[in-house]
Amino acid sequence: MRAASRSLAALLAALGLLAGRLAAAEHVTLPAGARLHPEPDVKSHSLALLDAEALVEVLERKDGWILVRYDAFRGWVREGAPRSLVEERGDSSAAPGRMPDIGHEALLARGRALLRGGGRELPMDGHTLLTDVSDDTLLKWLVATPEAARFSFELQWGRARSPAPGSVVFLFESAEAEKEFSSVACGATEPLGERIASLALSGKGRAWDRASLLHQVGHLHSRDVLGDGVPAWIEEGLADVFARAGIGVERVEGWRAVHYPKRSLPSPPVATVPEILAAGPEIFGRDSAAEARRLEALLFFRYLAEDRKTIPPFRELVRSGGKLDAPALEEALRRKIGAIERGYLSARPGIR
């Protein structure tokens, strides 16, 4: 009896100690939109984005960050109201791929000065093509084709708008001149309103140059249709759609196989779906990291635009002209971001 009493007393003491420890544990409620990072550093990649508020245990605190365990993730969350990646990581004007704010006319003058002999100006379906390229056959095709591409694009996506005044594409003969003009490899040269895109002849043949230029025109067209606030991943996806509309699927597949080679697919992906949705003009830069992020953005767009389960609601969302943020995507697809990401990851290896 005495031994049993001692065992019971020990058990009660242990339970009391455990209860004390549980009572001492600190818990916080994380709001929807809170982002988990592997390190207490805003520059570290995003592990997860909370779909809804969640009560979690605080494992550690450090310099305004809290370490928590959420779902299958263990990561750091910044205290306070959720902020976008752009807000977290600082002034977006300093992001790679953003030109100095020198004004539209000054930017045009800078580009013209880099064209051999001042170049020449050609109309291109409401846009202006400024070029020093001497291949008249290529230029004739480039001037005529965007109109057909736009018509096909509008039939598919149901959105139309006249090109914004001042929309310009620079096509340089010299790759060095193009790089001197713009730090952006893909997309609009001036992300915040100056609809100017640029590229140079690639040396890879006329078919490649045609597709590349239509892709750049597609960046301008996506902004014409959806405004300057169009998310970067949507802009990249629509630019790809525009190029495909202009040169035909049978031709674009060969171009994509080189431009977005399947062997370049990183595993795991370089960006989570929350990061893709929050990405800004930095994905249009020339560095390898930007190229990888741009590829991930395109693959995610193509998953939504081509998967039979997501095609109708995703296209309707784009056609609606409303917000194209994460909550809007969740509402349109009737799935949380986590579920959308799982679907994307399961389909991603088969995306070509």
Q: What pLDDT is stored for residue 96 in this prediction?
A: 41
What CA–CA distance (Å, rounded) separates 187 from 195?
Answer: 9
**Encoding tokens for residue 174?**
């010299």
Q: What pLDDT is stored for residue 333 in this prediction?
A: 92
pLDDT of 260 higher than 70: no
96 located within any domain: no
What CA–CA distance (Å, rounded) separates 269 from 286?
Answer: 19
Q: Are 88 and 64 in contact (CB under 8 A)?
A: no
**Encoding tokens for residue 297?**
């953005």
Average pLDDT over residues 45-52: 68
pLDDT of 25 higher than 50: yes
What lies within 8 Å, CB to CB, of 131 at 6+ separation is 115, 119, 120, 122, 139, 170, 171, 172, 173
User: Helix/strand/coil (H, E, C) string of 252-282?
Assistant: HHHHHHHHCCHHHCCCCCCCCHHHHHHCCHH
* CA-wise closest residue to 111 among 135, 129, 92: 129
Q: Does 175 lie in the same domain as 227? A: yes
What lies within 8 Å, CB to CB, of 285 at 6+ separation is 96, 97, 183, 184, 185, 291
Highest mean pLDDT range out of 10-14, 165-169, 214-218? 214-218
Q: Does 319 lie in the same domain as 215? A: yes
Q: Does 259 lie in the same domain as 118? A: yes
* CA-wise closest residue to 122 among 105, 140, 104: 140
Average pLDDT over residues 34-53: 75
Q: What is the CATH number of the domain that holds 49?
A: 2.30.30
For 134-146, the pLDDT digits (tens) are 999 989 988 888 8
pLDDT of 242 higher than 80: yes
Q: Does 193 lie in the same domain as 62? A: no
For 272-321, the pLDDT digits (tens) are 899 999 888 889 988 888 888 999 999 999 999 888 888 899 988 888 87
What CA–CA distance (Å, rounded) separates 54 from 257?
Answer: 43
Average pLDDT over residues 186-208: 79
346 located within any domain: yes
The string of DSSP codes covering 276-342 is HHH--GGGGBSSHHHHHHHHHHHHHHHHHHHSTTTHHHHHHHHHHTS--SHHHHHHHHTS-HHHHHH
298 located within any domain: yes
Average pLDDT over residues 19-46: 74
Question: Sign of dihedral through CA atoms 55, 61, 65, 67?
Answer: negative
Band of pLDDT at residue 257, cut at 50, 70 and 90: very low
Average pLDDT over residues 109-116: 89
pLDDT of 180 higher than 50: yes
Q: Does 156 lie in the same domain as 36? A: no
User: How many CB atoms are located within 10 Å of the residue 173 CB?
Assistant: 16
SS3 188: strand
Q: Are 116 and 75 in contact (CB under 8 A)?
A: no
34 located within any domain: yes
Q: How far is CA 132 from CA 115, 175, 194, in A?
A: 6, 12, 21
Q: How far is CA 285 from CA 62, 87, 114, 123, 254, in A?
A: 33, 19, 20, 27, 23
Q: Are 318 and 304 in contact (CB under 8 A)?
A: no
For 212-222, the pLDDT digits (tens) are 999 999 998 88
Q: How far is CA 89 from CA 36, 94, 214, in A?
A: 14, 10, 32
pLDDT of 9 higher than 80: no
User: How many CB atoms are located within 10 Å of the residue 17 CB?
Assistant: 10
98 located within any domain: no
Q: What pLDDT is stored for residue 190 in this prediction?
A: 60
38-52, 135-149, 179-193, 260-274: least confidently modelled range: 260-274
For 80-111, the pLDDT digits (tens) are 877 655 456 554 443 444 444 456 777 888 88
Q: Does 46 lie in the same domain as 143? A: no
pLDDT of 193 higher than 70: no
Average pLDDT over residues 32-59: 78
4 located within any domain: no
135 located within any domain: yes
Mean pLDDT, the chain, integer: 79
What CA–CA distance (Å, rounded) separates 318 from 311?
Answer: 11
| Owning domain of residue 35 | 26-82
As to burial, measured by CB atoms within 10 angstroms (0-12 exposed, 13-18 middle, 19+ buried), residue 245 is buried
Q: What is the CATH number of the domain that holds 264?
A: 1.10.390
218 located within any domain: yes
Q: What pLDDT is stored for residue 170 in this prediction?
A: 94
Q: Are 236 and 297 in contact (CB under 8 A)?
A: yes
